[in-house]
Amino acid sequence: MSDCLKTNGYLLMEDLANAPGVPSAERRKQGPVAIFECIQEIPCNPCEQACDKDAVRVGSKITDRPELNAENCSGCGKCVSACPGQAVFIVDESKGDEAYVTLPYEFLPLPDKGEIVLALDRSGSVLGEARIVRSRLLDSMDRTAQVTMAVPLEWSMQARFFKRKEA
C-alpha cells in the first residue's frame, strides 16, 4: 500500500492490486464490468444495496470494503450513481483497440456525444484526447450522471476523469 491516497488524494495502481473490488484483466476483456476504487474501511454500503445481481458485497459490517463478484456483474452502472464517494467506474475492454470508461459526473453542462475531451488520470494529469460515447442522467441517478468516454486501450485503468477543451 502506498501513502499516495493519504498525501496526494489519489490511488496508485499498486493500491488497487489487492483491492477486493477490482476485476481481473481477463474479466475486463470480456465486456463492461464495475471497478470499486474504494480501499478504506468507511461505513458505507449503497453499492451493495443498488446492485440487483449480487455482484458486490459489503456484508453486515458496513465498514468492510466492497467485494466484487465479477462473474455476476453486467456493468449496468447502478452502483456508479449510488456510490456517495463517486468511487465506482465501469470499464469495458472488449472494444478492440479502444476501452470504454464510464465515470460518475456531477458537473453541468454534460458533455455531448462525440465531443473530443482531454482524458485525465487519477491525479488530474492529462493523458490525451478521448471521445465522449454517451452521457446518461436518469431520475434514479439523483443527479449523479454517468459519462462514458472512449480512450486508447492502454489507458483503461488510468483514465478516470476528463476536462473539456477550451471553447
Q: Which of 7, 96, 138, 166 binds another protein (CB under 8 A)?
A: 7
Number of chain positions touching another protein (CB under 8 A): 43
2 lies in the site for another protein, by CB under 8 A:
no
Cβ nearer to another protein, comparing 40 with 71: 40
Residue 163, beta-bridge partner list: 118
Please count the CA atoms within 13 angstroms of the CA of 21 that sit on its side-chain side.
25
Determine the interface stretch with another protein among 24-32, 69-77, 92-100, 141-149 (rule: CB under 8 A): 141-149
Ramachandran assignment for 54, one of left (phi > 0), alpha (psi -120 to 50 degrees), beta (any other): left
Give the whole-angstrom CA distance, residue 157 versus residue 12: 10
Residue 135, beta-bridge partner list: 147
Cβ nearer to another protein, comparing 109 with 114: 109
Give the whole-angstrom CA distance, residue 77 versus residue 79: 5
Cβ nearer to another protein, comparing 14 with 41: 41
In the complex, the residues that contact another protein under the rule CB under 8 A are: 3, 5-11, 37-46, 49-50, 61-63, 82-87, 106-107, 120-125, 142-144, 160-161, 163
